[in-house]
Chains A and B, each alone.
Chain A
Amino acid sequence: MSDYTLGIKELDDAIGGIKKGSNIMLIGPPMSGKEAILNYIVYHGAAKNENAVITVTTRESAAHILEWFKENKLILPMPRIGIVDCVTKTLGGAAVESENIKIASSPVDLTGIGVKISQFFEEFYMKKNTRKIQLHINSLSTILMYSNIQTVFRFLHVFTGRIKAAGAIGIYVIDSGMHDEQAIATLKQLFDGMIEIKSENDKNYIRVIGLSPKPTPWFEYEIEGANVKIVRGM
């Protein structure tokens, strides 16, 4: 049984769990429920697998994210949650750091974002002795709006390497259709697999590539509140 699972039973069964050290792209069109899927993975990792969970958020503030979990009655084990908030300061908001929230000054400040990620890693790994850590970045697309592909590649090169060294996993969200093929291909070099989402005829489908010998089949899914439900396999 692997230390890392997505929490979506059909997918986990199909890929047999995620190996530690894996870096995974979560790619799909806008408004396909990627946010909900990511939150689901986060919740499952922290609450069910008891992993430490670090989320870098470039679109929603940390407070907003924590609100979402509360509203959906999902209780997060706070000692294992770390959020790097790249949003609040850019909106001119008063940003206060806490045990669970670190503030980065903008999505451009990759150095600063890197520092906060490292600090969370240190806190979970060394101080709290949690060896299983999940890093999520939502989203690389926002970061790519401010920095060019080489810059982001260098940043990811460092942190995907750190994920491997620490035996953690990383999940990175990208909006398909926002970037050219070349850019996605460049980034793909750094990843071990992809969680791919597509929309067809108003239905959403999900599959995983690269983490198992063959790609999984496409599964149709629906988002119900905070739940990701597989409706049927394709």
Chain B
Amino acid sequence: MVETGIPKLDDFLDGGIPAGKSLVYYNQPGIEGEIFGLQTIYTTLKSGGNGVFIVSSTIPDIIKGQFREFGWDIESYNDKLFFVDAYNPLIGAPTTEKYVVSRPDNIDDFNKIITDLIKELPPSTIVFGSLSTIMDLCGEKETIEAVKTWNKMAMLYDHVIIYNFTAWPYSQETLDLIKNNLFNAVISIGGIAERVIFGQYFGILKADWTKEIKKSMLFRVLRPGGIKLYIPKILVTGAFDAGKSTFVHALSTRAISVDRLGTTIALDHGHIDYKGFSADIFGTPGQERFDPIIKLLSGESMGVFLVVDSTNPADFVRAKHMLEITKTYGLPYVVVANKQDVPGALTPGEIKEQFNLPHDVPVVPVVAKDKIGVFEAFEVLINKITGGT
């Protein structure tokens, strides 16, 4: 199994990519999708595996620089990572790489180098930096035939072979072959567009070793960091004085609050980067007189933290009411049982009973002011949002 290292993608692929399989990252033009190939090869190196990267659209040194931009130190893997230079010969420049395609516009030359590599090297993760560039130089039909050969050979020699492909308007036949027939797995990477592209997502179009999970995840590219799943809006709500603002500040890498005299009068806004995730958090006020603006704050949330004061069961009714006001009924939510450190606080089990919560709603014990339990609550909610276990 080769892990892709892309958050959640490995879960959806049942652990990763089995040896011998081929996968294409199928990118919509304009989306920063070539990073998927980079992140996957780095993940292989980190777990002690071997990697081969075929560079077609720029100097190998620039690709090495890209790894560094993400904070991925590949210097320490010099004996496990090989670059195949299919660019410098194209522009007539000298190369320092061991493996070179001397005529990148000639598919037979390409074929020879790749098949030799596949036979010589121990089971590795082979990543083509830009299959589309090869197709542009050598021709669509010729490249497709070569890819068929390479995939077959990868299977025989137990490599995992991965291609970054930008879906420029090639012939429909070519695009269909790539999406449906040529590869064992197809990960589609695209943009959410409304006149211009303003959000990016990836999803599994095909993965023939696992039951298909037709799920798309929004993502962001962080430098350093790489690909992180992006949750554009998580709502934090609850009764007055439950500790919502404290929770937002405890969870966030950075946050601001609009408050007066100790209570929120507009909203809290925070941002968190944690493990494989990047999320924006919005906290509502709790006082009833602000109810009219709460609906506005809660639009388009993907999940909810319902913060309750564990010492104050009388407010549970109001807390449940907040779910109604924010119109977030139906969204995944987690009950944050705050103020667990105060004597007389109800346990999560007791809260679940008193609250009459559905069976599958998690109640997480938290002491927001000391940041205890906040990240556990975050992971639980993320799992619910992304449909994981």
With A111-B130, A112-B57 already in contact, the answer to whether A125 and B196 are too (CB < 8 A) is yes
The segment out of B30-38, B46-54, B279-287 that lies at the interface is B30-38
With A111-B130, A125-B198, A155-B168 already in contact, the answer to whether A106 and B30 are too (CB < 8 A) is no
B224 part of interface (Cβ distance < 8 Å): no
Chain B residues with a Cβ closer than 8 Å to the other chain, count: 28
CB-based nearest A residue for B136: A151
Within the complex, what minimum Cβ distance (angstroms) separates A133 from chain B? 9
CB contacts between A and B, total, < 8 Å: 87
Query: Is B29 touching A121 in the complex (CB atoms < 8 A)?
Result: no
Residues of A within 8 A of B (CB): 89-90, 105-106, 108-112, 114-115, 117-119, 121-122, 125-126, 146-148, 150-151, 154-155, 157-158, 162, 165-167
- State the main secondary structure of chain A at its contact with B: helix
Within the complex, what minimum Cβ distance (angstroms) separates B72 from chain A? 17
Q: Which residues of chain B come closer than 8 Å to A165, judged between CB atoms?
A: 193, 195-196
30 pairs across A/B with beta carbons < 8 Å? A89-B62, A105-B62, A106-B58, A108-B90, A108-B133, A110-B168, A111-B27, A111-B57, A111-B130, A111-B132, A111-B166, A112-B58, A114-B166, A115-B30, A115-B31, A117-B30, A118-B191, A119-B32, A121-B196, A121-B197, A122-B198, A125-B196, A147-B136, A148-B137, A151-B136, A154-B170, A157-B168, A162-B30, A166-B196, A167-B195
Within the complex, what minimum Cβ distance (angstroms) separates B127 from chain A? 15
A115 to B27, CA, bound (A): 11
Q: Which residues of chain A come closer than 8 Å to B170, judged between CB atoms?
A: 154
CB-based nearest A residue for B62: A105
Query: Is B58 touching A105 in the complex (CB atoms < 8 A)?
Result: yes
Query: Is B59 touching A118 in the complex (CB atoms < 8 A)?
Result: no
B87 part of interface (Cβ distance < 8 Å): yes
Q: Which residues of chain A come closer than 8 Å to B30, judged between CB atoms?
A: 114-115, 117-118, 158, 162
Taking CB atoms and an 8 Å cut-off, the chain B residues in 193-239 that contact chain A are 193, 195-198
A112 to B38, CA, bound (A): 14
CB-based nearest B residue for A153: B169
